[in-house]
């Protein structure tokens, strides 16, 4: 296959994605009660992770999805050396999980690892329900997704610098694993981060605004000499805000693209 053909395929996939994501402006706005942000840290190279991902997938049909709970599936890269390179893993996701431990929000760095509203949570291992955000915060987050752009405003009294995060999540992504601890399995991922960007902002009297492009999504990868095309059933977008010196979400909004 020629380089020109590969470029045309990439452009077609990208334009198709943008077209679907931009059919009509998508308005996302936080309410009086913040949504609970549920983070899973996982890896295709971890044999104990598939059950956790299957459990996370159960939230796809949750009636309160996006309004009350926002799951995010971060793949880490520190198990890649075991024989299988996880195509969804990014060093910054591993760094994010380590930052939680360094800041004292979690006790360890492991997979599967769960963080709820910025704090480590091990209730999944004991089959407990996810705890929800108990109180409201004096902040408002709004995002408008239109024509591949994301316009964000965040109002929070007393904040001087915040970091805005935008992630595109993929659903129904099937990956046959050829090597490593999960060799022979065909894993299915939901809520998995396939595109991510962030920007640090300085606010004026607690008001922040930013205009970003939707993150570039992963469209194809090569593993063990085999090329695989991303085949997601659908996508969503998540926007969240954190303190400059922390990684825990202050406020988050999300919706289907």
Two tokens at 237? Answer: 């977008």
Mapped onto helix, strand or coil, the DSSP state of residue 226 is: strand
Domain that holds residue 213: 3-256
Contact assessment for residue 115 and residue 132, using Cβ atoms and an 8 Å cutoff: no
Q: How many CA atoms lie within 13 A of 17 on its CB side?
A: 27
Report how far apart, in Å, the C-alpha atoms of 141 and of each of 116, 144, 157, 167, 211 are: 19, 10, 12, 15, 14
Look at the alpha carbons of 175, 218, 169, 160 in this order and tell me if their dihedral is positive or negative: positive
Position 227 scores a pLDDT of: 85
User: What burial class does residue 175 get, using C-beta atoms within 10 Å of its C-beta: 0-12 exposed, 13-18 middle, 19+ buried?
Assistant: buried
Rounded CA-CA distance 14/52 in Å is 30
Rounded CA-CA distance 159/192 in Å is 30
The structural domain count of the chain equals 1
Over the stretch 71-99, which tens digit does the pLDDT of each residue have? 999 999 999 999 999 999 999 999 999 99
Return all residues near 4 (Cβ < 8 A) that are at least 6 apart. Answer: none
Over the stretch 19-70, which tens digit does the pLDDT of each residue have? 454 468 999 999 878 999 999 999 999 999 999 999 999 999 999 999 999 9
Over the stretch 125-182, which tens digit does the pLDDT of each residue have? 999 999 987 666 788 999 999 999 999 999 998 888 999 999 999 999 999 999 999 9
């Amino acid at each position: 296959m020629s380089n020109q053909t590969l470029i045309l395929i990439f452009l077609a996939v990208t334009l198709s994605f943008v077209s679907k994501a931009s059919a009509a402006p998508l308005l996302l706005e936080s309410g009086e009660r913040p949504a609970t942000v549920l983070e899973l840290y996982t890896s295709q190279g971890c044999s104990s992770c598939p059950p956790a991902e299957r459990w996370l997938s159960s939230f796809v049909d949750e009636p309160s999805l996006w309004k009350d709970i926002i799951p995010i599936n971060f793949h880490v890269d520190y198990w890649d050396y075991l024989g299988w390179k996880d195509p969804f893993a990014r060093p910054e996701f591993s760094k994010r999980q380590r930052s939680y431990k360094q800041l004292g929000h979690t006790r360890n760095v492991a997979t599967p690892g769960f963080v709820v509203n910025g704090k480590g949570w091990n209730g999944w291992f004991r089959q407990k329900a996810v705890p929800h955000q108990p109180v409201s915060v004096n902040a408002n987050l709004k995002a408008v997704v239109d024509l591949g752009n994301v316009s964000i405003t965040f109002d929070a009294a007393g904040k001087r610098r915040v970091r805005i995060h935008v992630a595109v999540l993929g659903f129904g992504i099937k990956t046959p694993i050829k090597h490593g601890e999960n060799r022979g399995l065909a894993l299915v991922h939901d809520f998995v981060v396939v595109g991510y960007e962030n920007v640090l902002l300085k606010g004026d009297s607690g008001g922040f605004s930013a205009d970003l492009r939707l993150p570039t999504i992963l469209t194809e990868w090569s593993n063990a000499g085999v090329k695989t095309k991303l085949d997601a059933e659908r996508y969503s977008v998540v926007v969240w805000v954190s303190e400059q010196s922390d990684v825990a979400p202050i406020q988050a909004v999300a919706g289907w693209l």
